[in-house]
Amino acid sequence: MARYSEELIAQLKANADIVSVLQTFVPLRQRGKSWLGICPFHDDRSPSMYVTPSMGIFKCFACGAGGDVFKFVMDHEKIDFNSAVEMVAQESGFSLPTLKAENKAEMEDRAIVLALNELAHEYFCEQIKHAKTAQDYIARRGVSAEICERFGIGYAPDNWDSLVSLAASRGFSPKQCVLAGLANEKDAGGVVDKFRGRLMISIQSLTNKIVGFGGRIMVDGTNAPKYMNSPETPLYHKSDILFGLNHARQSIEKSGEVIVVEGYFDLISLYQAGIQNVVAVSGTALTEQHARLLARYAKRIFLVFDGDGPGRKAARKSLETLMPMGMEIRILVLPDEDDPDELVREKGAQAFRDLLQTRARDFLDHLSAELPQRTPEERTVFHSEIRRLIAAIRDPLLKQEYLNLATQRYPVSRQLMASMPTLSRPPKIKLPAPTDENEMPPPEAIILSPIESRFLNLMTRNPFLWKALHAWFDPDIFESRTLVELLDSGLAIYEEDGAFDLAKLSLRLPNTSLDLIQRLPEETWNAETAQKEFLATLVQITIFRLGRARQSLQARTPETSEQLRIVTELRLECNRFVKQLEVVKIKLAGEADSLQSASLLWAGLREGLPKFFSKMINA
Ligand SMILES: [Zn+2]
């Protein structure tokens, strides 16, 4: 039976996140560096299966089941090894050659490319010993012999065919050198070395295989491009490989932090200076696959970019990719003339660490510094950019936190921020279901109290009422946060269009809120009864809320006479509000022009409510 090569399996295993793969079958929740879940291989009552992403294994402490990600998928799905490999590859976005007739050829290609890369690496490392310019260059950049060896730094001599000839003497054809990305075909026919007169840095996979090269010219200012990288080959997929991750992995895992820089030498200098939790994106933007890889090892990510145009653009692009991962993102844009390499060589590692601590910003501050906000148009761009990025966060709690932070820091209307655009794609990772009541709070059960449910029904079926809600809306009176978010979104639509539209609202809502609306009972109102009931429900909701405020005041035990005075005053104020609201209720229940007089009374009362609630919070 055809098999995927061991080398490929090892690469896939290093790339696949065992936690997200297993989570498609079993809910898991994090406990320290491991994840815990109900074992599917025995009749498990309390979670006994541990998953350790850094080791790529799972283990059940009750029945002993355990192994790697493939073993889990094989046993759980009762499928063979190859099918498990394919399933894991698909789940991890890993490009896998097909195991059909052409597979043998592909496997051979990969083996040839790997062998040629190893040959080239040996050759480059040998050549640098005889190349004075390269040695001087290395010395100028202060790179030690040990670091040279670790990162496989060598030299490609300035000849047309020295590597191709060497390969030929070992039985490799010129075509195979082209396949490996080490040679180019000439228009006039024939094949020449791709890398000539360049300092060569080997690009290594997580499993320490040499998958490609980056070549740097040693004299700046010539016409040649500063860096030349290997093209995509059967072995080298740029979106899967992060330069330096094989060396940095342990240090990243230990610190929980990773620093992402732009250039090979930025990384090498930092690494040599002792800052080893660092990776570089080589000749490509940070991809989703990169982000997933990093999220396995790090909770916090520092993006370090040059202050030039491309650097700023790359920072924005990386942000978009990283937002859904839920990592803590900090961005450091260096002043124009600085790069990490020079900085650490001139001022030392501590200076760089200090810079990270003091100058790296969260994404809100980063955007605020990057985007001008002088005119209404510029501010609109700024706000919608923030909204777009927050909307990409998958974790609902984290999303809410950033939403709060954004409204605190910038004068953005709460309603506008609440109208989140929908996610560009559905979250892939299922949220773990609660397995143990004591340890994990159940997700907010979206059941409204009867009065709040009635209020929502009224609002969704009588669009004209949104004008009144827009005139006065105090989120503090409502018990359900889901209802508040829903009303916020509705108000945003009202602000944008001057009218409420249920279809538009339903497009913006998460499924749970939509479900809430769909379950509302069928009911119709005429304009007058709708207005009356709008007021009646608002008043009743406020009375309930005040009732809870009174309870919490009664539960307090003031320690000083000043505290006693404040609590007593608040209790009296609370009682006054309730009494007057009861009067509004009585008026509403009356007959002729009752709505008008009740509305007037309510309008006089409601202005004081937000102030009262804020005093309650501060007391
Ligand atoms: Zn078990």
Same domain for 184 and 113: yes
Same domain for 205 and 68: no
Give the pLDDT of residue 213. Answer: 96
Q: In this structure, what CATH number is given to the domain that contains residue 253?
A: 3.40.1360.10
Give the pLDDT of residue 76. Answer: 86
Element (H, E) at 381: helix 376-391
Q: Residue 443: pLDDT band by 50, 70, 90 thresholds?
A: very low
Q: In this structure, what CATH number is given to the domain that contains residue 215?
A: 3.90.980.10
Q: In this structure, what CATH number is given to the domain that contains residue 27?
A: 3.90.580.10
Measured in Å, residue 91 CA sits from the centre of ligand 1 at 23
Last residue of a domain, one of 323, 340, 360: 360
Q: How many CB atoms lie within 10 A of CB 32?
A: 7
Q: How much is the mean pLDDT over the chain? A: 84
Q: Is residue 443 part of a domain?
A: no
Same domain for 600 and 474: yes
Last residue of a domain, one of 229, 262, 283: 229
> Closest Cα to residue 443, out of 512, 390, 520, 518?
512
- Distance, in Å, from the CA atom of 199 to the CA atom of 165, rounded to the nearest integer, reads 20
Same domain for 600 and 460: yes
Q: Is residue 56 part of a domain?
A: yes
Give the pLDDT of residue 418. Answer: 54
Give the pLDDT of residue 119. Answer: 96
Give the pLDDT of residue 422. Answer: 38
Q: Residue 99: pLDDT band by 50, 70, 90 thresholds?
A: low
Residue 442 has pLDDT above 90, yes or no: no
Residue 430 has pLDDT above 80, yes or no: no
**Reduced DSSP (H G I as helix, E B as strand, rest coil) percent helix, strand, coil of the chain, to 5:** 55, 10, 35
Same domain for 356 and 252: yes
* CA atoms within 13 Å, Cβ hemisphere of 453: 13
Residue 400 has pLDDT above 60, yes or no: yes
Measured in Å, residue 46 CA sits from the centre of ligand 1 at 10
Q: Residue 413: pLDDT band by 50, 70, 90 thresholds?
A: low
Measured in Å, residue 73 CA sits from the centre of ligand 1 at 14
Measured in Å, residue 40 CA sits from the centre of ligand 1 at 6
Measured in Å, residue 76 CA sits from the centre of ligand 1 at 12
For residues 448 and 481, is the Cβ–Cβ distance under 8 A? no
Q: What is the arithmetic mean of pLDDT over 300-322?
A: 84
Give the pLDDT of residue 1. Answer: 54
Q: Is residue 528 part of a domain?
A: yes
Instruction: Give me the residues paired with residue 191 across strands.
Output: 185
The tokens of 240 are what?
A: 């899967």
Q: What is the arithmetic mean of pLDDT over 452-458?
A: 91
For residues 329 and 303, is the Cβ–Cβ distance under 8 A? yes
Give the pLDDT of residue 205. Answer: 86
Measured in Å, residue 10 CA sits from the centre of ligand 1 at 26
Same domain for 253 and 114: no
Residue 440 has pLDDT above 60, yes or no: no
| Reported pTM | 0.58
- Distance, in Å, from the CA atom of 242 to the CA atom of 264, rounded to the nearest integer, reads 11
Q: Is residue 529 part of a domain?
A: yes
Q: Residue 535: pLDDT band by 50, 70, 90 thresholds?
A: very high
**Which residues, including other chains, have CB under 8 Å from residue 498's CB and lie 6 or more apart?**
none
Give the pLDDT of residue 421. Answer: 44
Of these ranges, 99-103, 181-185, 393-397, 427-431, the one predicted with the greatest mean pLDDT is 181-185
Measured in Å, residue 293 CA sits from the centre of ligand 1 at 28
β-bridge pairing 66-68 and 57-60: antiparallel
Give the pLDDT of residue 103. Answer: 63
Element (H, E) at 512: helix 511-518
Measured in Å, residue 9 CA sits from the centre of ligand 1 at 26
Q: What is the arithmetic mean of pLDDT over 81-89?
A: 86
Buried b (16+ CB within 10 A) or exposed e, 136-150: ebbeeeebeeebbee
Same domain for 476 and 583: yes
The residue to which tokens 């655009």 are assigned: 421
Measured in Å, residue 62 CA sits from the centre of ligand 1 at 5
Q: Is residue 199 part of a domain?
A: yes
602-614 tens-digit pLDDT: 988 888 888 888 8
Element (H, E) at 537: helix 527-555
Measured in Å, residue 37 CA sits from the centre of ligand 1 at 10
Residue 74 has pLDDT above 80, yes or no: yes
- Distance, in Å, from the CA atom of 570 to the CA atom of 567, rounded to the nearest integer, reads 5
> Closest Cα to residue 118, out of 180, 53, 186?
180
- Distance, in Å, from the CA atom of 225 to the CA atom of 213, rounded to the nearest integer, reads 15
Measured in Å, residue 63 CA sits from the centre of ligand 1 at 4
Full residue range of the structural domain in which residue 42 is found? 17-91
Number of domains in the chain: 5
Complete DSSP assignment for 421-446? PPPSS--SSPPPPP--TTTSPPP---
Give the pLDDT of residue 511. Answer: 67
Give the pLDDT of residue 587. Answer: 83
CA dihedral (239, 245, 251, 253) positive or negative = positive
Give the pLDDT of residue 328. Answer: 92
Buried b (16+ CB within 10 A) or exposed e, 422-436: eeeeeeeeeebeebe
Q: Is residue 2 part of a domain?
A: no
Higher per-residue confidence, 243 vs 237: 243
Q: Is residue 293 part of a domain?
A: yes
Same domain for 157 and 84: no
Measured in Å, residue 86 CA sits from the centre of ligand 1 at 25
CA dihedral (245, 251, 257, 263) positive or negative = negative
Q: What is the arithmetic mean of pLDDT over 235-254?
A: 88
Letter for the amino acid at 268?
I
**Which residues, including other chains, have CB under 8 Å from residue 112's CB and lie 6 or more apart?**
172, 176, 179, 180
- Packing angle of the helix pair 609-618, 561-589 (nearest 10 deg): 150
**pLDDT more than 90, % of the chain:** 29
Measured in Å, residue 256 CA sits from the centre of ligand 1 at 30
- Distance, in Å, from the CA atom of 461 to the CA atom of 434, rounded to the nearest integer, reads 35
Q: Is residue 428 part of a domain?
A: no
Same domain for 311 and 273: yes
Measured in Å, residue 61 CA sits from the centre of ligand 1 at 7
Measured in Å, residue 44 CA sits from the centre of ligand 1 at 6
> Closest Cα to residue 194, out of 210, 175, 215?
215
Give the pLDDT of residue 437. Answer: 33
Give the pLDDT of residue 458. Answer: 92
Measured in Å, residue 25 CA sits from the centre of ligand 1 at 14
Q: What is the arithmetic mean of pLDDT over 506-517?
A: 74
Q: What is the strand order of the sheet 49-52 is part of? A: 29-31, 34-37, 49-52, 57-60, 66-68
Higher per-residue confidence, 496 vs 580: 580
Measured in Å, residue 28 CA sits from the centre of ligand 1 at 14
- Distance, in Å, from the CA atom of 573 to the CA atom of 566, rounded to the nearest integer, reads 11
- Distance, in Å, from the CA atom of 538 to the CA atom of 259, rounded to the nearest integer, reads 52
Same domain for 378 and 344: no
Higher per-residue confidence, 339 vs 337: 339
Q: What is the arithmetic mean of pLDDT over 191-216?
A: 92
Q: What is the arithmetic mean of pLDDT over 346-369?
A: 91
Same domain for 474 and 375: no
392 burial via Cβ count (<10 Å: 0-12, 13-18, 19+): buried
Q: What is the arithmetic mean of pLDDT over 293-313?
A: 84
Measured in Å, residue 56 CA sits from the centre of ligand 1 at 17
Same domain for 278 and 172: no
Q: Between the CA of residue 232 and those of 92, 110, 175, 186, 223, what are the distances in Å?
A: 19, 12, 15, 19, 24
Q: How many CB atoms lie within 10 A of CB 216?
A: 19
Residue 279 has pLDDT above 90, yes or no: yes
Residue 172 has pLDDT above 90, yes or no: yes
**Poorest-confidence range of 129-143, 194-208, 467-481, 513-527?**
513-527
Last residue of a domain, one of 360, 387, 405: 360
